Amino acid sequence: MLAQVARKAWTRQTASGALDETFDAFRHREAQAATRSPQIPEGFTLRTAPRRCFDDLLAHFQAIAGDTGAALDTLNEPNELRQIRRTIQETAKEKGVGPEYVSRICLNQCGRLSPETMPQAVAVLTALKKMQPKTNRRFALP
C-alpha cells in the first residue's frame, strides 16, 4: 500500500516536470524527509522506519500525490484502529460472513454500522471471534 501511494506521488511529480530522479531515489529522499525529527535528524528510510512511522510516511506520500483529504484522514485516525478494522475484515472472511453481517454485529455492539473507536472495534472483533463458522448464514459469502 505504501509503495503504491509513493509511486502515485512520484508519477504525479515526474509528469508535472517537478522531478528528474528515479522512483527509488525519490522514495528514499521523501521517506527521510517525512521521518526527520530533532532526535533523528537524518530520518528513516522505508526499510529502517519503525512501525510508528507508518502514518507519517503514508500521509506524506498521500499529500505529495495530491490526496490531501486522505492524508488528513490518515493522521487523524490512529494506525491501531485501521489495523483492527483490517483484522475484523479478515476474521469475517475466515468465518464465512460478509460485510452486511459485520455491520449487524457493529450495530448490535456499538449502535453504528462501523466501529469508530478502539473499544468499539475490540467489541466487534471479540463477537466475531466467538462465532462458530457456518455456511448457512443469511449473509454468508458465496
Tens digit of pLDDT for each residue in 8-60?
A: 999 999 999 988 899 999 999 999 999 998 888 999 988 898 888 888 899 99
Residues 70 and 108: their CA atoms lie apart, in Å, by 29
Tens digit of pLDDT for each residue in 91-114?
A: 998 888 888 888 898 888 888 888
Name the CA dihedral angle for 125, 92, 88, 50, rounded to a multiple of 10 degrees: 130
> Full-prediction pTM beyond 0.85?
no
**So where are the chain's domains?**
2-76, 79-130
Handedness of CA 53, 64, 89, 116 (dihedral sign): positive
Residues 137 and 115: their CA atoms lie apart, in Å, by 22
| Helix, strand and coil in the chain, % to nearest 5 | 65, 0, 35
